[in-house]
Homo-oligomer: A and B are copies of this chain.
Amino acid sequence: MSKIRQAACVGGGVIGGGWIARFLLAGIDVKVFDPHPDAERIVGEVLANAEKAYAMLTGAPLPPRGKLTFSKTLEEAVAGADWIQESVPERLDLKRNVLTQIDAAARPDALIGSSTSGLLPTDLQRDMKHPKRLFVAHPYNPVYLLPLVEIVGGEKTSAETIKSAMDKLVPIGMKGVHIAKEIEAFVGDRLLEALWREALWLIKDDICTVETLDDVIRYSFGLRWAQMGLFQTYRIAGGEAGMRHFLAQFGPCLAWPWTKLTDVVDLDDALVEKIGQQSDEQADGLSIRELERIRDENLVGIFHALKGGHGGKGWGAGKLLKEFEATLWASAGSDKTLHDTARPLRLVETKVSPAWVDYNGHMTEHRYLQVFGDTSDALLRLIGVDLAYVEGGHSYYSVETHIRHLGEAKLGHAIYSTCQVLSADEKRLQVFHTIYETASGEAIATAEQMLLHVDTKAGRATPAPAEVFAKVNAIAAEHAKLPTPEGAGRHVGQKR
């Protein structure tokens, strides 16, 4: 897989900051050039949001965060980079000028992406000496969570550049979509603008309020589009008769006088004020920060939902997350130096996400077992029982679990888990896990588990192969020197 080794970001606003977070969290060093006096603060805020979101998004092991440097000059920022992302304001003369400077200072083989949401790459690359490596890489806010990047080449962009750019987005969890022909605003913003124009008329003409219009979207087709988009949804609407039938039925409507799109709405002071007031009412006192947090938590929840879609295979943005996590696990698998077997293994680090808490903000009972299950999975990967092993027809199944609750994990709190192997033979593996609150170091729950090595097709216990048993036995031998944890061997209701 093709990876970015060093990134440079020219322009560090909300969009630039989102790119910076994507790169850093994927373990890539980033040099930033942005002369704006608030650049460091804005980037810091976006990065803080991104880190919070990632802590909820995935339990897969993120690589050590990349190094963030604010450079004094554009030349210093871009000199060593192999991906340079330009995110300066949306003016052709400004962007052309900045891209020409980047072109002059960058390595000849560096890729140069522009975040423009509408300008043509052919216009952007006009004055560059090496225009073939310039392309549009148009992301969507929040860039650290929404995967889409529209990739658009200009007349002088090489096919290798497009291919390389698409490839390099995969390890940072993004979805490059190649737009075949360059047009202003590409595909996403064309669609958005069409709907936006119509929406402005509906507000101006008092057909509905801002809140009503948003409700119309989020209680209906928004829920469809999050997973299937437009055409796949209509394919279903066409039913067994098919897409062609649907089009034949729906086609005539296009000629009906249903939209005001042929007119351009005058966004005058009165309309701006009307929308501003209605938007204030809709927000109902929630600040932008709160809305951002709610949005990010919802996005994470939707990703998780779609990850379980299509019978567990994952669907759309959830499938992408699944694939991204597989790359994270694959990268982390080689790093065995993390684990000191002379003490309980520290295996899972996570945060208590909003989907995990009850209305009191306490972690729901079954989420403790989820963390304990993840802890067992992490131990199993350490002894070679990874996804490939399971797909080969063998695995360890939990047959018995004893959980004690000693404290409370609360919303947003960091927690971690440890595992002590109590005993192991060819078939059986007995472990004792503990969940700690990271800040206080207090144990908040323990689980003792018995796992059996099974032939998953036959559905019965079978001895683990020698190489797996050797690994687990080595850990068990070390852990046998540790004292038996308090609470091991208890039955429910036993006196202390």
Cα distance, A189 to B150, chains bound together (Å)? 27
What mask results when residues 152 to 195 of chain A are scored 1 for a CB within 8 Å of chain B, else 0?
00000000000000000000000101111101110111111111
Is the beta-carbon distance between A230 and B243 smaller than 8 angstroms?
no
Set of chain B residues within 8 Å of A83, measured between Cβ atoms: none
The minimal Cβ–Cβ distance linking A286 to chain B, given in whole angstroms, is 9
Given contacts A147-B220, A184-B256, 7 further A-B contacts (CB under 8 A): A140-B221, A223-B317, A225-B226, A297-B309, A302-B305, A312-B360, A448-B492
Cα distance, A258 to B366, chains bound together (Å)? 51
Contact A295-B236, Cβ < 8 Å, known A188-B220, A198-B191: yes
Q: Determine whether A96 belongs to the interface, using a CB cutoff of 8 Å to chain B.
A: no
Contact A215-B229, Cβ < 8 Å, known A197-B254, A223-B146, A262-B262: yes
Cα distance, A213 to B230, chains bound together (Å)? 8
Cα distance, A306 to B295, chains bound together (Å)? 10
Residue of B nearest to A210 (CB): B231
Among A201-209, A331-339, A340-348, the one that faces the other chain is A201-209
Is the beta-carbon distance between A222 and B226 smaller than 8 angstroms?
yes
Is the beta-carbon distance between B194 and A259 smaller than 8 angstroms?
yes
Residue of B nearest to A265 (CB): B254
- Cβ-defined partner of A258 (8 Å) among B189, B280, B367: B189
Is the beta-carbon distance between A276 and B264 smaller than 8 angstroms?
no
Q: Determine whether A475 belongs to the interface, using a CB cutoff of 8 Å to chain B.
A: no
Cα distance, A430 to B491, chains bound together (Å)? 12
Residue of B nearest to A202 (CB): B187
Contact A220-B257, Cβ < 8 Å, known A215-B175, A247-B275: no
The 7 closest A-B pairs by CB, nearest first: A214-B229, A301-B305, A222-B225, A226-B226, A308-B355, A148-B220, A148-B219
Is the beta-carbon distance between B411 and A400 smaller than 8 angstroms?
no
Set of chain B residues within 8 Å of A276, measured between Cβ atoms: 242-244, 247
Cα distance, A228 to B217, chains bound together (Å)? 8
The minimal Cβ–Cβ distance linking A448 to chain B, given in whole angstroms, is 5
Is the beta-carbon distance between A190 and B202 smaller than 8 angstroms?
yes
The minimal Cβ–Cβ distance linking A359 to chain B, given in whole angstroms, is 5
Cα distance, A142 to B429, chains bound together (Å)? 47
